[in-house]
Structure 1
Amino acid sequence: MKRHDTSLQDIPWPNFESRKPQKGERAGTLPFISPEVLRQISMYNANQGRSKLEDFRHNSVHDLESFLWVLVHICLTRKGAGIDMIRDTGPRQLRDIIRDYFNAKEHILEDMKLRLFQTSDTFESDIIASFHPYFDSLKPLVRKWWARIRLAYRHHGNEYYHIHSHILRILNNALPTISRSDNDPGTVADIRHRKEQH
């Protein structure tokens, strides 16, 4: 049976032009929630480039930012794929970064993540530079994803309303460049463990 390879061009994208996100109760896992969702305000006024209090709505950009934070957390706290790959967070700088961006109280998480959006080089110096070397091949992907999220928040244009297609393109372009871990001992052990448990 021939397997059909679906490219991005084959996927019909929904039209969100007339859709308005609804207000509702905030939901999510605290370490991965966007600072906009935590504060219930938009970070930028698209015309003036500054914070703006307005009738806040949770939307798909917030969800894709949360997904990025999950990936970043893995790159900071693990040393590879599979079982027993929790990273030693011995260096104080790494411990502080994990605490400040993921394990702190809500108001600190808000402040730290807002700072990342407001200072262009902080994401590189605090987050990317702290990845475990095993995840070096993911750095270009994470940089592009972060840049797209920042752009979507700052300018509610094409990037904002078509954020899914932009992130999918970034992911698909990155897949061939990411190191495979099929022969990695941790991955092999993890696959074996999953099969035994299943």
Structure 2
Amino acid sequence: MSADTVPDADWGTVTGWGRTAPTGALVVRPRTYEEAAVAVRDCGVRGAVARGLGRAYGDAAQNAGGAVLDMTGLDRVHAVDVAGGTVLCDAGVSLHRLMEVLLPLGWFVPVTPGTRYVTVGGAIGADIHGKNHHVSGSFTRHVLSLELLTADGRVRTVTPGTPLFEATAGGMGLTGVILTATLRLQPVETALMSVDTDRA
């Protein structure tokens, strides 16, 4: 695979949020699931790894000399079940975008890290946690299913309790490219906050 044979691909330098250990890779920006599948199929011996918004502190989502799939072009919210409290979205959707869509409907994801600028796929791949980890657990505890593009070119529906789900949750993208996810949501009862202040 080369930048000449893949639409919207070029060689570039990739780093994590900490900007340590930059590497050169073919950065592919798929806009469809089919383009992602072609990139995975044609990636060559160095393989391909998916990348979200690049907020990992270390060197996650780097592939020196290989392909890195920038998944932020696959960023659709497909369906929100307001009655059931679930959302189906692409892996490239940011938590910021989910806030924009879900909060007016009275819902949000139960676990958020220190930034809203991470993708759903990255949140699953890193199995992120927030300040409420002791109560709500990590992000993948609230994933009902996901669609995973594996190295053999197949798209698999993966659900909690299966070995492939357990390997993908926190697997840093090494089991395949997450395409979509269905998430269980948490109701937001009000935009107001009650604060008690105790003075010593």
Which TM-score applies when normalising by structure 2? Answer: 0.27
More strand by share: 2
Give the TM-score, by structure 1 length.
Answer: 0.27
Q: Which has the higher contact order (CA 8 A, sep 6+)?
A: 1
